[in-house]
Structures are given as structure tokens and as C-alpha cells.
């Protein structure tokens, strides 16, 4: 019996060690000392196996002692079976203080499992100092003003050039006015709402019957691109340039009224990613549900945007 317990304990410790090696995270700043008003770059680095799907939190909300400035573009590269991902957040502080940046929680899922696991970075300590100023010194310019001496002929030339340019400008403006009076106003271009474009694209894709012909990956690629283009147009999210996990984080910040639509969208992108990257061959029912989820997302997102604007969208 004691041997069995020892064996189970060994297997448990080995399982924890293997999982801990699947993802490593760290956060750091470029220095431990700053002056008031300096840009403080907080770096968050992740190294994880391709089977891992990390969920990047809203770091700007976690660091409450600093003023958030902006995010820098995400850096991501692959190293064999691993992915190395770097996020950089710029903060500042406008008063002297000792700052503690708390540990950052990183949730992630592994493989096909939907269970979320947690890892976190270490706490960071840094100091922001005031800029030292000598109050006894006089306030003076950094550089003395430059004195420019011009001869009378140069002044006359400058005045002549200004007069010529003024006359030329008046002539061109007068000619433009006369020409415009004889031109009929052009018709304004018709702006087609993004959701109308998305619905028409979904109808067109449905008519192609790609998955019915065995073109499963092509079907999932095209249907996700339609939804990503719609999100980019209507919600100002760079959906075509970011991962599904980053896209869902951004969507959760702008769509707070309906959690069901976010859950449906998450399933939608997970299914598509499995087909495109894991070579998963879904059943026909899943392909049909993808189309229904796409239609439902566009319609519900349109209603949410209308309620925020307070004005029904045309079309």
C-alpha cells in the first residue's frame, strides 16, 4: 500500500512539472528607477506549447498605481513546437512614489480541454523620483535667440515673391469658382452598412456549398473572414490582424450587454481554429451550426450597436 501511495505521488508531481513546462510567463520593466513623467515600459513575455491557448488579461486595469498610456504591437514568433509572445504596455507616473506592480494572472486552456488553468508573473517593485531643480538659478532659454540680418534687397525680394504668390492664389481661386459654377454636383456614393455586406457575403458562401463538396478548411476560412471583416468595420477592432483569443478579449470590452453572444462567438472561432490549424474534420451538423452562429452574431451585434447609438441603422 505504501508503494502505491509513493507511485501516485510521483505521478502527480510529474504531471504538475510537465504542465508547468508547457507555459512560462514573466513580466519586467526596463529599469527599477524612473523620474516623474518618464515612460515606463512593462513587458509581459509568454513561452508556451502550440497546444496552449493563453488568455491575455486587460493589464492596464491591473496596474492601478500607474497611468496607462498605450499598448505597443504584439511580438510573436514560433520556436519549434513553442510560441514566444511579447506584449508591451506603456505607463507613466506624475508624482514620486514607490510602486508595486502586482502579479499578472494568465489563464489558459490546453488542447481540446475547455478547463482554464492559471499561472502568474511575479510582483515588480520600482521607484519614481521627482526631477531635481535648483531654485537658486535664474530661468533662462536653453539656447539664445538667433539674430538674422537681412539686406534691403533680400527683403524686397521676399515681399515681391509674397505678392506674386498672393496674385497667383487669387487667380486660381477665381478660376476654380467659375469652373465649379458650371459643373453639376456629383452624386454622393451610397454607403452600404457593414452588417448588410456581411449578411450578403454569408448568403453567397452558403450558396457555394463548400463543405458539402469536401472543402471544409476553405469553408471555415471564408466564414471566419466574413465575421472578422464585419467586426473590424462596425466595432473598430483590428480583427483581421489578431488571434482569436485577442479578438475575444477585445469583443468582451465593447459588447457587455449580452454574454450569450460572446460565448457563441467563442465557440464559433474555436471550431474554425481547430479546422484550420489542428486539421479537425467536423461533422456536418457543426458546419451547419457555424453558418447559423454567423448569422445570429451579425444580427445581435447590429441590435447592440443600434441600442448604443440610439438610432436604428438603415438597411
Say if 73 falls within a structural domain.
yes
Taking alpha carbons only, the member of 158, 234, 239 closest to residue 191 is: 234
Q: Do 198 and 302 fall within a single domain?
A: yes
Say if 263 falls within a structural domain.
yes
Q: Do 204 and 124 fall within a single domain?
A: no
CB 244 within 8 A of CB 109: no
- Which grid cell sits at 176? 476654380
Structure letter (DSSP) for residue 187: P
Number of domains making up the chain: 2
Domain with 218, as residue range(s), is 194-309
Residue carrying the nine cell digits 539664445: 144
Taking alpha carbons only, the member of 194, 193, 222, 196 closest to residue 291 is: 222
Domain boundary among 129, 150, 178: 129
Say if 211 falls within a structural domain.
yes
Q: Do 198 and 303 fall within a single domain?
A: yes
Domain boundary among 129, 155, 180: 129
**pLDDT string in tens for the chain (315-residue length):** 545 545 444 444 344 333 445 899 999 999 999 999 899 999 989 999 988 999 888 888 888 889 998 989 999 899 888 999 999 999 998 988 899 999 998 999 988 888 889 998 999 999 999 877 666 666 655 556 666 667 788 888 888 999 899 988 888 988 888 877 775 455 567 788 888 998 999 889 889 888 889 888 888 888 889 988 988 888 888 888 888 888 888 888 888 777 888 888 888 888 778 877 767 777 888 888 888 888 888 888 888 878 777 655 544
Angle of helix 216-235 relative to helix 194-208, nearest 10 degrees? 170
CATH number of the domain residue 56 falls in:
2.60.40.10
Domain boundary among 88, 109, 129: 129
Q: d(Cα 170, Cα 178) in Å, to the nearest integer?
A: 12
Say if 160 falls within a structural domain.
no
Amino acid at each position: 500500500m505504501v508503494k502505491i501511495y509513493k507511485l501516485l505521488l510521483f505521478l502527480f508531481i510529474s504531471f504538475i512539472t510537465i504542465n508547468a513546462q508547457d507555459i512560462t510567463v514573466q513580466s519586467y520593466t526596463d529599469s527599477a528607477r524612473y523620474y516623474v513623467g518618464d515612460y515606463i515600459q512593462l513587458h509581459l513575455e509568454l513561452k508556451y506549447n502550440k497546444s496552449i491557448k493563453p488568455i491575455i488579461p486587460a493589464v492596464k486595469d491591473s496596474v492601478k498605481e500607474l497611468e496607462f498610456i498605450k499598448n505597443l504591437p504584439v511580438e510573436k514568433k514560433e520556436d519549434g513546437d513553442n510560441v514566444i509572445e511579447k506584449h508591451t504596455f506603456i505607463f507613466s507616473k506624475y508624482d514620486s512614489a514607490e510602486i508595486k506592480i502586482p502579479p499578472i494572472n494568465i489563464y489558459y486552456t490546453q488542447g481540446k480541454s475547455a478547463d482554464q488553468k492559471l499561472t502568474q508573473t511575479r510582483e515588480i517593485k520600482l521607484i519614481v523620483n521627482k526631477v531635481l531643480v535648483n531654485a537658486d538659478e535664474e530661468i533662462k532659454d536653453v539656447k539664445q535667440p538667433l539674430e538674422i540680418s537681412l539686406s534691403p534687397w533680400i527683403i524686397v525680394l521676399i515681399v515681391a515673391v509674397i505678392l506674386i504668390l498672393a496674385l497667383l492664389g487669387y487667380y486660381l481661386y477665381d478660376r476654380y469658382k467659375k469652373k465649379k459654377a458650371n459643373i453639376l454636383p456629383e452624386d454622393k456614393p451610397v454607403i452600404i452598412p457593414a452588417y448588410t455586406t456581411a449578411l450578403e457575403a454569408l448568403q453567397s458562401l452558403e450558396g457555394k456549398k463548400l463543405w458539402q463538396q469536401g472543402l471544409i478548411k476553405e469553408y471555415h476560412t471564408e466564414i471566419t473572414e466574413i465575421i472578422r471583416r464585419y467586426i473590424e468595420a462596425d466595432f473598430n477592432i483590428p480583427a483581421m490582424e489578431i488571434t482569436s483569443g485577442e479578438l475575444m478579449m477585445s469583443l468582451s470590452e465593447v459588447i457587455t450587454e449580452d454574454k450569450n453572444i460572446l460565448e457563441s462567438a467563442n465557440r464559433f472561432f474555436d471550431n474554425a481554429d481547430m479546422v484550420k490549424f489542428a486539421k479537425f474534420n467536423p461533422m456536418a451538423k457543426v458546419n451547419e451550426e457555424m453558418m447559423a452562429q454567423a448569422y445570429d452574431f451579425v444580427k445581435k451585434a447590429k441590435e447592440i450597436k443600434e441600442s448604443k447609438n440610439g438610432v436604428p441603422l438603415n438597411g
